[in-house]
Structure 1
Amino acid sequence: MLAERRQQQPRFRRVFGAKYISLRLATEEKLRSLFLAAGGRPERKAPHYFVLGSSKWFEGLYPSTKSIVLPLDELNSLTTSITFPDSFTAMRLGETFGLPLESLKPYHEKIYLLSELSDLIGEFGIPKDAPNPDYSNYAQEPFEKYIEVQVWSDIPVQKFLLTE
């Protein structure tokens, strides 16, 4: 269904291959395990994903992208983790699923706590952000475009969740 959506809507550029769900689940399992080991207390099995700041590159993956703003001081340090960059790249499980393995960086295979964000940015900076005019092969290219924030609770995003 996700792959069909991409075929039907050319401006929907996000790649969802047959192995996407398996990669997503394995990534979330590793994220959660590392977060628990660091003292995190996730309230959800899988987090809500956010980009720190904004990302023109990420906005270009989808047509009519919208954004929400969650001030960092409204996030609970026990339910918030951070990866540098995107969690797929940071957790380094892509090779198992046929994606290229980027060279190991000191921030890969780690999660960071909210209290470590300033030090993380101080040491490594913020990834370069630029929209991709093509996106056709982005899943095979280096993927260090933004810092990802994982919110392991519904509380900070409750007002944005759809309720019926």
Structure 2
Amino acid sequence: MNEVQGPTPTGTSRPYRSLAEALRAHRIDPVNHEFIGAIVDAVGVTSFIDRGRYIEALRRGDHASLHIGRTYTNGFAEDETIVVGSTPLRLQPSEGRAPYFYVTHPSEYAPSVPARAAKRSSTPRTPSVPREKAPKPVTERDYGVCDVCFMVKTPSGGCGCD
């Protein structure tokens, strides 16, 4: 879990008025919005700041701030128990932000469905017409080799030395 630290690439940061505004601005998958909202409510976040690659969520008390990325939320202590719904989250050790832990967002576990398979038409399908068989490839013919220049002869019997 590598995470780039610090301000945005331009050196600036700006606060967001709400979590919804921050999630939209960072184009985080809408599937994760409810999950992230539950985490934010559970840990007591006071404000959100744009940090370029992630949203920094400042917490009440002396807890570390959370970093909310597209696929993860990072910044939990080892002894924290975060419950979303009725399930405690499985925290994993952070590689880029030790000694903190992170949780992966639900969209990372969703099965990937091709866009073509997801669309369904309300019109009935017509029976498919059998396809014509592709023509067989033409077999190469051997026109012989010239005795003088050893090049392959053309269909007319000529070669490079004629």
* Higher share in strand: 2
Whose relative contact order is higher, 1 or 2, with alpha carbons under 8 Å and at least 6 apart?
1
* Higher share in helix: 1
TM-score by length of 2: 0.24
TM-score by length of 1: 0.24
